[in-house]
Structure 1
Amino acid sequence: MDDDAILQAIRDHAADAAEALAAVQSDEKPLTTAGIDALARLSRRDPAEFWLEQLKERGLVTAFAAALRARGVPLADDVLDDPESVIPTEPLRRFLARAESFRCRIVKNDAVVGSGVLVGPSLVLTSWHVIAVARPGQPQEPAPKLEVLLADDMKCRARVPAVFQSECGDAEYSSRAPLHDTDVADRHDVALLELMEPAAAHLGHISLAAPAPPKSKSRLILVHFPGGVHQVIDFGFTGKIRNVTARWRHDVTTAGGSSGGACFNKDLEFLGIHQAEFDHVARFVPAELFVDSIREIVSRDVAPPTLWSLDATPTGPLVIGRNSFFRAVAAAADPDGRVRGVRIKRTNVDSSTTGLAFSHDILEQLLLRRGPDHRLARIPLDDVVDDLSAHIRSRVRLIGLDVPEPLTEDAGVATGQAPPETTIRNRAENLAAAVEAAAATVGATAWLFIDNPSVLLSDESRLTIESFVGAALTKPHLRLVIAGFETVSVPGAEFLGPPASEGDRSPGLIVDFIGEFRRADILDLLATASRELTGGADDVTLGWSADRALVGLPHVNGLYDPALLPQVVENLRPDLRLLAGGV
């Protein structure tokens, strides 16, 4: 990768670069743009050059470049035009940047055997025959070792068997083309692989929405790895096959390793999966034949439901820059995962608590969409509370959980018979157990939103919170969202994103930082609103709307102060009303 290309991207796309930097790090002391800029000033270095140097020291250059491309930032060596000039240059270049990230290679028993495409953070679509070790209809034994080589050169294990698979035809497995549709009825030669962990979240993925039906003699783009080597896209044209509609031909030159590559049409919409060459004719399987079979699986893997407005109207409270919170809530909702909630921290602890309180309103709407089995109790700390355990108990009872009064304390932990710390800790742990039992009885998940205190907490209250959180993290029916409390230490692991499902299983909370926002956050809101209100999104029009909302507002390297959010919200409303069909 050319250093100059990365340096130019850092300088020209500061906000996207900052987002990519955060996406590729999972350690507890990540690089930040503020930290890099401060160190660069101290050493009188160019910030971009210092940034690149730090990436190299941490071995993150390849992952960073892939994360940039996933955000549509083309690097200098990504330039490619359609030789037939069918596809306009600028959309093609943005697509190419993304294609560099969502393409991948399938590795079977330590050998590259085909191509694939990311359709979610942990899902890869490829051809079934690429992963097969025996003929269709036969046991696939011995089970192969399957891995996926991602665009950032990370190799990830995939689960066996595939989460969805549709075999190829019997003749196709022997390299003979089907003569009629009946030869491949309900056999689409596709497989959906699930990675052991959502390692590809920073790389982006293709959309499976409304797959485009193929048209004869139409432009086709194939994203593949012929021969297993580096390749981005090749251009060709489609063609019909006599007596067969379940397969289409194309004229892109392919080779071993191309199978499983994704095909796209002239509008850069997903068209199907390249299968193989039969009788010197390359063929693909139309996406419309199999997408409906995998859509639900993919929807569970893709970024969780987001909200652009709390009431889904242009006049309601707008939600800007909270994608990480949405992902954290989705991870915490997984009953088998390590994530037991969210810890929301301000990047500036002296800033307003408005964003903290608004997090409760967002969470409330998200849980409403999950149904009555998810119940939310808010624990306000606006007044001095003598007995915080009793306060929590009373709030949980308000959501319909029958939490009983505490039992008589044993002599070894009762007030006056044990150190105060022991008594407080015992009460908090018993309370967590009681709430867990009440939630389990009705088959519910209890979410406790603990507000940032507006009064000074006593040492007893601090210890109660610490003890309750420590106990609640181990309860399968309890979830915590802790807003603020930046100066209070709480037990459990802290994750910067959904942790790996394998290995260490200790529970913890995902940390969600709130503070400055970016133009990309405005675009996310507009795109979500546009898709919901109109069924589509025009990138150019939405870009103009984002620019109008931010015009004249001060920023530092593309980061805007959260105090500007109310003004941005009002600037957005006219365009949102137009999307909703108003004036």
Structure 2
Amino acid sequence: MPDGGALLTHDDPRIAALVAEITGDWPHVIAVWDAFRAKHEILLRGDLQVDRLSFLKQAVWAAIGGGVLRALLSRLTEENLTAAGLNAASTPFLGASFALQSYVNGAWKPQNALIGGRRLMEACDHTCRITIDGQHRGTGVLIRPTVVATAAHVVSTLVGQSGQRLPGSLARIGITFFDADDLLPDGETQEARPIAARLHEEWLAHYSPRAHGEGEALYAIDSVAGIAAPTGPWDLALIRLTTPPRAGLRGHRVCSGSPPKATFGVHILHHPGDALGAPMGLVWSIGDINRDLGAPLPLRWLHDANTDGGSSGAPCFDDNWRVVALHQAGPNLIAAANQNNRAVPIYSWAEQVETLARLADQTPYLVHAPDERRDPTPVFGRRDLQFRCWRAMSPGLPPRQRLFVVLGDVPTDRTFTVAIVEELARLAGCRLMGLDVRNLKLRSPLEFVQAIFGGLGATLPETLNAPSRLTTELRDLRNDILPWLIREVEAIADKRPLWLALDGLEVCDTAANGAAQVVEALIGALNDAPHLNLLLIGWTGPAQAEHVEILPNVPDIDDVVDHLLLALAPPGFRPPHEVRATFHVLVASNLAAQPPGPAYLRAAAAANGATETLRAVINAFTPKLAPVAGGAGE
């Protein structure tokens, strides 16, 4: 029976029976509905409903009338918000076709082919191999733009008994991404083009070792002796990088919440060693998680996917390509039948690791950012801005940490702020939409919102494009237009931070200004838009922002020196105090020699003039390293 609902009312008992199969957390149901209705232009608002039963009846009735019931039920099922009787209850409206007629494998369920394939490709880009002293030791996965998770025992030779990294360990560890052959359009194989990641000098962010005896011959593979929730230990190491391995890698999705019960399907991406111990290119193994070890939450899992030496720390993905575990070990008895490998579930520490990963995520302070002509321009200072903006590239922050206000007397310096944040967003794989408010000074609130929609590649529905009358336009903004904008922003964000950068807000000099009204409304709506970040340049209105910055008219000489050290020095280089003082004098003298002109351009010229001298001094203090040849410590 096709989707349809003629002659139905929302009180029809068949609708009531279907609604009874919609379960789960109520705020979660509302969130799914609001995203769904925004996509399908249904006017029923979930945030205004208090009676669950009445609302769900109206929502299902509206979906039937719009011919989108199947899509709604599929979306709710994907979010685990439906019960076992859904198929039977939906039959009067959808026929029996909604059920899976031949569901004979409990571990694997059918997936969308293209979406699954793209998630596999994404997972490949986030998987890396790890070497110690040039020897292959294990596999890891990027869980934040600058944080790699792996098994603790992979790096244990670099860690002391206190759980701290050993002196000199930075030079001994290596992490490499993209070591995977690819298929070209003509069917030929392209050999891997691996890229070595740059590690932070304080590379070990968190370390939880194996249990005592775990991994040794007398410790059974199905034992959990010495392991308990929530303390573990979890055989987990988090490793800091200085910059993302490639712009746009945001850190792979980590599955949180209650763990599924065995049995379920698992994918493992890993770099096993070959017969001589050298790392193989990235390979993909498939198997089942077939046994829980520990209760009530599993402390370890057993699985039957094929792995080998060098696979330790490899990410284990569920059939939605979310990280659910890290592979840990396998048996040594190769000839024995029906053996299992061992993995560490993330669930016992997933909530903790979110906090740990956020703390470990290293801000990739910028050497340059493209100016309005896309020319690379040096970034002097702005460390606090970069730190807080990078933190906001991950979701989950309160509104005051997602609101940024930048003031200053030099318009070009203020505008360059947008370039800095845009470059950080590019590295983090987030989207930024910029709008010059100076061109919209005389626009009404509706016209200003229309400009924002246009920048996002969206349009307002016709019903909202014409407010009832001028005197009610502000009410329309708050009650209708802004909620629609927020829903559109959240849909476009797709659970990732989305930046809205508004430049030139100094023109908002009266409360009646259309842009000012919209900005104030957006600030007030940040609680309802958890993935929206606001960057307000020149805003002098009310704002409960953690970061309010007033730019100096002239770059600070210490900031210029920090820029040169970031560009020229290797990780961990700390010049002695007297050497840094010499750098300061050198930059100051170069700055004094510059002809009159804009302060920022003069500082950039002074930095260029000091580069060769500083490079020679840095190389003299780091004789065991390769000579410094270029920017960012390369």
Which of the five TM-score ranges fits, normalised by the shorter chain? 0.3 to 0.5
Q: Could you state the TM-score of these two structures normalised by the residue count of structure 2?
A: 0.39
